[in-house]
Amino acid sequence: MLELAEPSKEYEKSFIEAAHEFANEGSPEGSEAISDFDAYISNLRAESEGKSLKPNYVPASTFWLIDDGSYIGRVNIRHSLNKTLEKVGGHIGYAIRPTKRKQGYGRAALEMALPQAKKIGLSRVLITCDEDNMGSRKIIESSGGRLRDTVSEKQGKLTRRYWIVLD
């Protein structure tokens, strides 16, 4: 059964496996959990409450996409935007573990995140992706994303910015 769940010790083994998958492709996704999983979970909970935020961070709720009891990926829903997130990042970010990509999980994660964003009090969400990330573009557009514009980052990379109005 596919569900969004709050981060939990229950999923530690599959989460750590996923963190190693991300590390193998050069991504730091979940790397903090490898050395101290309990502290990682505590930090995520504090972040959702706006406590102990790192500089330039905003409160954000993290949900894990779970399929048949195993960690598939994560969704972060930022409760507000700062100048950086307005340009790159937006309200919702998601990551699917490498071995589970291109199986519809990204689309499911975003679709399941939208009602959660509404519960937080958002009436519309900004979602961004790299110009050349066709997979994310398709997911965002099929979930109701309407292109706002394309902006250039410092390294000359182009980022597409979409709005999704929450019903």
Task: Please name each of the domains of the chain with its CATH number.
Answer: 2-165 (3.40.630.30)
Q: Provide φ and ψ at 11, rounded to 5°.
A: -105, 15
Distances (CA, A) of 63 to 18, 25, 72, 110, 130: 15, 22, 11, 11, 22
Q: Kind of pairing, strands 158-165 and 70-78? A: unpaired
Whole-model pTM: value is 0.92
What are the 10-residue block averages of pLDDT along the chain, 167 residues in total? Answer: 96 97 93 93 95 92 97 97 93 96 95 96 96 94 95 85 95
Beta bridge partners of residue 92, listed in sequence order: 77
Residue 155 DSSP symbol = T
Q: What is the pLDDT of residue 153?
A: 75
